[in-house]
Amino acid sequence: MALTCWRSAIPRGWTMCWRRWGSWTVGLHIGYALNDSGQLYGKIGYSRLKLEADVLGLQASESGSGVGFAVGYENGLGENAYARVEFGYADNGEIFGLNFQRRHAGVGLGVRF
């Protein structure tokens, strides 16, 4: 993954770069059928995030981990297709002295075989 870099005006020419490695969550997905085609579901699991920093040529990396969860709704679109919407959160603890939290929202379409 490429570095994301910022150049500083004060002091002139300083560069700070960050790289995110391996943001992932693994866990359990449980759903409740609301009707023949709709399901409300929740996820809970373990989340981990690793960051690398390059500041003035000095390199460091640090990881954080914690609890992640999400809630969503899935609806059937015929016999095999479905659509879903999901909202989630993960707290990866302190990395480089900052509390890293991840929030996401997504929509999706899928087909079951």
pLDDT tens across 101-112, in order?
889 999 999 999
Cα distance between residue 105 and residue 113, in whole Å: 26
Cα distance between residue 63 and residue 78, in whole Å: 43
pTM above 0.85, yes or no: no
Q: How far, rounded to the nearest angstrom, does the alpha carbon of residue 55 sit from its chain's CA centroid?
A: 25
Question: What domains can be seen in the chain, in order of their start residue?
Answer: 4-111 (2.40.160.20)
Cα distance between residue 61 and residue 54, in whole Å: 9
Tens digits of residue pLDDT in 40-93: 999 999 988 888 877 777 788 888 899 999 999 999 999 999 999 999 998 888
